Amino acid sequence: MKPFDVVVLGAGPAGQKAAICAQKAGARALLVDEEQRPGGACVRHGTIPSKTLRETALALTAFRRLSGGAVAVALDSEVTLHSLMSRLDQVISAHETFIDEQLRRNQVERWHGRARFVSPHSVEVRGVDGTRRVAEGRFVVIATGSRPRNPPEVQVDHEHVLDSDSILSLTYLPKSLAVLGGGVIACEYASIFASLGVEVTVIDRAPRPLGFLDPELTDCFTRALEEAVGRFVGGSKPTSVVFDGLSSVTTTLENGVKIETEKVLCALGRVANVEALDLAVAGLSTNARGLIEADAHCRTKVPHIYAAGDVIGPPSLASTSMEQGRRAICDALGLPSSTSATLIPAGVYTIPEIASVGIDEPEARKKGGCVVGRARFSELARAQIAATPEGLLKLVTDAEGRRILGVQVVGTGAAELVHIGQVAILAGWPVDELVEQIFNFPTLAEAYRVAALDVIKQRSRALVAAAG
């Protein structure tokens, strides 16, 4: 048995950050993972591959936009998906190499194998060659990630009916694709394939996609999907998905409607990877959703065991997982942890991109009212030059139109733009400060001044109305 201060299970974003944070604090950390190289599903099946394909799709459609329709890139009907992602191996290798070097630089010890608890403080790791060794940790961090959830009514065969891990193994672009689910993964892939010319049908039981976001933003997404070659079918639940044995898959909905497509992507959530851990031995269990419950510091009901990332549920973002891993170690080792990390931005890499930080308009109105400033990208010179005028930035302020509560963006660069609003909120800037600051011209960042001026205009009208 080998002793460590911290034993971290899982080498995805949460696990990496936890192990490195522990080492930097002078603690001895062990990082255990089933894969030979670090990164988790984020690198091999999720964030990195999907965003690489997205960049390819954006580049192909950019020719048409920027030439005013004079130049278009036509994809051969037999084009392989692999050919569209020729850079993927390079991108993955570069990211894995960076993580490897970071772990080595911080002297994190790594064991390759499958872990399970043999006591509340001890973890057995079985190597691929069958060897077994035991690590004992003063603290343990569970960050084993998740895998696609495949309900019984959807028989995923990874050839005709695929999940979010196998979708990119398609040998060629299908002519049509049904996407089951209306969450982040479903909508990201739906918009990517639609932009590549695939006829996409998004099917979800919710009335609109991405239901956790401001409806004004998701309306933009739905319009963009329809302008490509896609559609959203809301309020619908599939009861069966059947491949005909030849060339198509039929998805039957609760209302009897049948949707026939060449391929189906099942993106109905993810399941935490915890079954093999023998959690009961450590005194833990999962809740009804199969997740490990943890508090704001990522501490489980067993005080020395922490959980971070997908195993504790939403928002299940790589950026959030990293912060959770860091926060867990800070709490375990008694390190100071900034409270500003509670303001976490969300980025959805659909086409168009969507991002949000702080409170959105519906939530602000429930809490007592707000003034909302809008800047449409069509008003920005940079958006017109880049031929991306379809976009919107919303600046949500308090009922007096003074304090910034939240920022929501849809359109090109949304995930980057939202950070300006994040910093403004953390700095406690009044809305007027966004007007006083100088933004480069032409830039999309000018949207903040346009939205702030809209708030000030509404504020002035309210004062006039009150005086009159």
Q: For residue range 240-259, list pLDDT tens digits in order.
A: 999 998 889 999 999 999 99
Q: Indicate if the pLDDT at residue 82 is higher than 60.
A: yes
Q: Indicate if the pLDDT at residue 364 is higher than 70.
A: yes
Which tokens belong to 261?
A: 């497509």
| In CATH, 150-268 is 3.40.50.360 | no
Three-class SS state of 424: helix
Q: Indicate if the pLDDT at residue 130 is higher than 80.
A: yes
Please say whether the beta carbons of 344 and 324 come within 8 A. Answer: no
pLDDT digits (tens, 9 = 90+) for 171-223: 888 999 999 999 999 999 999 999 999 999 999 999 999 999 999 999 999 99
pLDDT band at 133 (very low <50, low <70, confident <90, very high): very high
What's the average model confidence in pLDDT over 57-68? 77
Within 12-145, strands assigned E span 29-33, 109-112, 114-117, 122-126, 132-142
Please say whether the beta carbons of 39 and 12 come within 8 A. Answer: yes
Per-residue pLDDT at 9:
97
Superfamily of domain 352-461: FAD/NAD-linked reductase, C-terminal dimerisation domain (3.30.390.30)
Give the CA dihedral 263, 265, 266, 272, nearest 10 degrees.
140
Per-residue pLDDT at 93:
79
Between CA 178 and CA 161 the distance in angstroms is 9
Between CA 113 and CA 7 the distance in angstroms is 13
Per-residue pLDDT at 79:
64
Within 52-154, strands assigned E span 109-112, 114-117, 122-126, 132-142, 146-148
Distance from first CA to last CA of the chain, Å, rounded?
80
Equal CATH topology for 150-268 and 352-461: no
pLDDT digits (tens, 9 = 90+) for 99-120: 888 999 999 999 999 999 999 9
Per-residue pLDDT at 69:
65
Which tokens belong to 75?
A: 């994809």
What's the average model confidence in pLDDT over 420-442? 95
Which tokens belong to 406?
A: 């939240």
pLDDT band at 380 (very low <50, low <70, confident <90, very high): very high
The model's pTM is 0.90
Per-residue pLDDT at 41:
65
| 229 or 88, higher pLDDT | 229
| 31 or 45, higher pLDDT | 31
Q: What are the domain boundaries of the chain?
A: 2-48+85-148+271-342, 150-268, 352-461
Neighbours of 16 (CB within 10 A): 27
| 183 or 51, higher pLDDT | 183
Bridge partners of 258, per DSSP, are 252
Q: Indicate if the pLDDT at residue 339 is higher than 60.
A: no
Helices 88-105 & 13-24, crossing angle to 10 degrees?
A: 20
pLDDT band at 124 (very low <50, low <70, confident <90, very high): very high
Between CA 217 and CA 395 the distance in angstroms is 13
Which DSSP category does 171 fall into? S
Helices 47-66 & 88-105, crossing angle to 10 degrees?
A: 140
User: What is the CA angle 18-21-23, rounded to 5?
Assistant: 110
Between CA 96 and CA 40 the distance in angstroms is 10
**Nearest C-alpha neighbor of 233 from the set 212, 213, 259:** 259
Bridge partners of 137, per DSSP, are 4
Per-residue pLDDT at 397:
98
* Fold annotation for 2-48+85-148+271-342: FAD/NAD(P)-binding domain (3.50.50)
Q: Indicate if the pLDDT at residue 321 is higher than 60.
A: yes
To the nearest whole number, what is the mean pLDDT of the chain? 91
Per-residue pLDDT at 44:
62
Long-range contacts of 236-244, Cβ-Cβ distance < 8 Å, separation of 24 or more? 236/203, 236/204, 236/205, 237/205, 238/153, 238/154, 238/180, 238/203, 239/153, 240/153, 241/153, 241/154, 241/155, 241/161, 241/180, 241/266, 243/157, 243/160, 243/161
Please say whether the beta carbons of 136 and 124 come within 8 A. Answer: no
